[in-house]
């Protein structure tokens, strides 16, 4: 026993030393001082745009914002005088460890380690697109946690990640494994299914133990899984309340994947923090979100990703039928929620479409949802930061906050598609390699 304890202690010491060595490049890089010169500066999407300005960055944080173009001695000057500079964008619904169109049977082949490496590629694509913070809502094993921690330590470039890990699901629901022989389904069981209040509370505690930053649940059926029980509610209201109350006691928020109206209503009444997708939300579902101050994350780009793959033998018949059903109401829920005054946070469901296209969501929110460009920018900065619980770090440009900023061509308040033309990105005071 003593030998075992000594060996374990040696391994822990080695791991700690390795982690410290890995983290040192980030410390060195963030110690550099930068002067980011902006032709137009948006410090807060809800406030007037400033003219020529300079953001001073030191030790990974914003130290000052100056009028005009300045360059303190010793600082690296970043010339963005012909561009708009604003806080880094936030995507509240991504799947960095997966790519669109991947056959469902790859679940039986690809490892969680492989998923993490896919995530390395997609994290960089996402950061280059101007998204410096994301909420990752579903990944196999510990892959999203490994990705989150590697970026945080400075091992690889990418956005700040708030990660749920795997989703909680009913047995046979969206989030469970279906579509294979029973023994294969059982072998691939992700361990996130639960039944009854006690069982669901236990799963929340297990997720917290694994390192989840929040809880993601599939409160209704889903489109891209092989479950064929429709898109309405799955969890019982008692189970939903057990999940939310347990998560909130542990300081964790709850994101609910939800398509069907009654499933949306049940989840909102149970106290989830966000409804993601909300496809078939009717008046009662919208009112439930409004009454319970539930955030709505519309993920309109998910429908783009699905539409681009219909009729190409990419989806199985059960998935194809569900996909076509959702496209009949594309954008209606956002329109209704926006008119009702529901809180809206920007989110895309990237992974259903190609990573790096996240900013295309902004144009859809204007065109299909009736939002103004300013409202979209707020949803992708201070709004999403509030939902993710990171408003103290990001969402606005002000002294003391993390130096997460982007520069792009054009004026997003005049043309929201400008946010798709990002030319410079900085995360936590570190420039992101753009090619």
pLDDT of residue 10: 38
Per-residue pLDDT at 1: 37
Q: What is the pLDDT of residues 111-124, one digit of tens each?
A: 999 999 999 999 99
Does residue 16 register a pLDDT over 80? Answer: no
Same domain? For 205 and 291 the reply is yes
Check residue 104 and give its pLDDT. Answer: 84
Residue 1 lies in a domain: no
Domain assignment present for 9: no
Question: Does residue 20 sit within a domain?
Answer: no
Share of the chain above pLDDT 90, in %: 85
**pLDDT band at residue 12 using 50, 70 and 90 as cut-offs:** very low
**Same domain membership, residue 299 and residue 203:** yes
- 110 and 81 share one domain: no
Residue 11: pLDDT band with limits 50, 70, 90: very low
Q: In terms of domains, do 301 and 349 share one?
A: yes
Residue range 83-96, pLDDT digits in tens: 999 999 999 999 99
**Which residues span the domain enclosing 409?**
29-88+403-430
The reported pLDDT for the residue numbered 397 is 98
6/4 Cα distance (integer angstroms): 5
Q: Are residues 61 and 106 in the same domain?
A: no
In a domain, 279, yes or no: yes
Domain holding 215: CATH number?
3.20.20.140
Q: What is the mean pLDDT of the chain?
A: 92
Q: What is the pLDDT of residue 191?
A: 84
User: Both 410 and 271 in a single domain?
Assistant: no
What integer is the mean pLDDT of 231-248? 97
pLDDT tens-digit profile of 270-317? 999 999 999 999 999 999 999 999 999 999 999 999 999 999 999 999
- Is the per-residue pLDDT at 2 higher than 80? no
How far is residue 221's CA from residue 233's CA, in Å, rounded to a whole number?
Answer: 7
Shared domain for 261 and 225, answered yes or no, is yes
Q: What is the pTM of this model?
A: 0.91
13 domain residue, yes or no: no
What is the predicted pLDDT for the residue at 101? Answer: 87
pLDDT-derived band at 423, boundaries 50, 70, 90? very high
* Domain at 69, CATH number: 2.30.40.10
pLDDT value for 185: 87
**Which pLDDT value is given to residue 31?**
66
Same domain, 129 and 218: yes
Which whole number is the average pLDDT over 395-406?
98
Q: How many domains does the chain have?
A: 2
Same domain, 108 and 130: yes
Say what the pLDDT of residue 168 is.
97
Whether residue 95 sits in one domain with residue 84: no
Residue with the bigger pLDDT between 105 and 11: it is 105
Write down the pLDDT at residue 187.
Answer: 85
When pLDDT is averaged across residues 99-113 and rounded to a whole number, the result is: 89
In this predicted model, what pLDDT tens digit does every residue of 23-55 receive, in sequence order? 333 334 446 999 999 999 999 999 999 999 999
Does residue 75 carry a pLDDT above 60? yes
Q: Confirm whether 222 is domain-assigned.
A: yes
Instruction: Say if 8 falls within a structural domain.
Output: no
Indicate if 100 and 164 belong to the same structural domain: yes
Q: Are residues 49 and 101 in the same domain?
A: no
Q: Tell whether the model's pLDDT for residue 4 goes beyond 80.
A: no
């Amino acid at each position: 026993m003593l030998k075992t304890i000594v060996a374990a202690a040696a391994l822990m010491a080695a791991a700690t030393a390795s982690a410290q060595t890995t983290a040192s490049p980030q410390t060195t890089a963030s110690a550099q001082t930068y002067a980011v010169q902006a032709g137009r500066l948006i410090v807060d999407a809800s406030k007037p745009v400033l003219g020529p300005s300079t953001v001073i960055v030191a030790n990974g944080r914003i130290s000052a914002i100056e009028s005009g173009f300045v360059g303190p001695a010793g600082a690296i000057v970043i010339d963005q005088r012909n561009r708009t500079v604003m806080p880094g964008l936030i995507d509240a619904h991504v799947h960095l460890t997966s790519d669109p169109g991947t056959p469902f049977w790859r679940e039986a082949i690809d490892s969680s380690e492989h998923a993490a490496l896919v995530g390395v590629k997609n994290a960089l694509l996402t950061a280059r697109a101007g998204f410096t913070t994301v909420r990752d809502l579903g990944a196999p094993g510990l892959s999203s946690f490994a990705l989150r921690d590697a970026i945080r330590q400075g091992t690889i470039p990418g956005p700040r990640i708030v990660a749920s890990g795997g989703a909680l699901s009913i047995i046979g629901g969206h989030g469970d494994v279906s579509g294979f022989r029973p023994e294969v389904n059982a072998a691939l069981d992700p361990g996130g299914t639960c039944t009854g209040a006690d069982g669901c509370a236990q799963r929340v505690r297990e997720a917290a133990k694994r390192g989840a930053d929040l809880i993601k649940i599939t409160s209704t059926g889903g489109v891209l899984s092989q479950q064929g029980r429709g898109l309405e509610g799955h969890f019982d209201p008692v189970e939903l309340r057990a999940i939310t109350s347990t998560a909130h006691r542990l300081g964790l928020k709850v994101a609910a994947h939800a398509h069907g109206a009654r499933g949306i209503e049940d989840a909102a009444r149970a106290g989830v923090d966000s409804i993601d997708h909300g496809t078939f939300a009717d008046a009662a579902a919208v009112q439930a979100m409004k009454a319970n101050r539930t955030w709505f994350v519309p993920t309109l780009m998910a429908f783009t990703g699905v539409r681009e793959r219909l009729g190409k033998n990419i989806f199985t018949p059960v998935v194809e039928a569900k996909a076509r059903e959702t496209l009949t109401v594309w954008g209606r829920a956002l329109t209704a929620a926006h008119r009702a005054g529901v809180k809206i946070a920007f989110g895309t469901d990237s992974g259903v479409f190609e990573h790096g296209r996240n900013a295309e969501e902004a144009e859809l929110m204007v065109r299909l949802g009736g939002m103004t460009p300013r409202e979209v920018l707020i949803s992708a900065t201070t709004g999403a930061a509030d939902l993710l619980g990171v408003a103290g770090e990001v969402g606005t440009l002000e002294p003391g906050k993390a130096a997460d900023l982007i520069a792009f061509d054009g004026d997003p308040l005049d043309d929201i598609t400008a946010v798709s033309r990002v030319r410079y990105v900085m995360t936590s005071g570190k420039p992101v390699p753009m090619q």
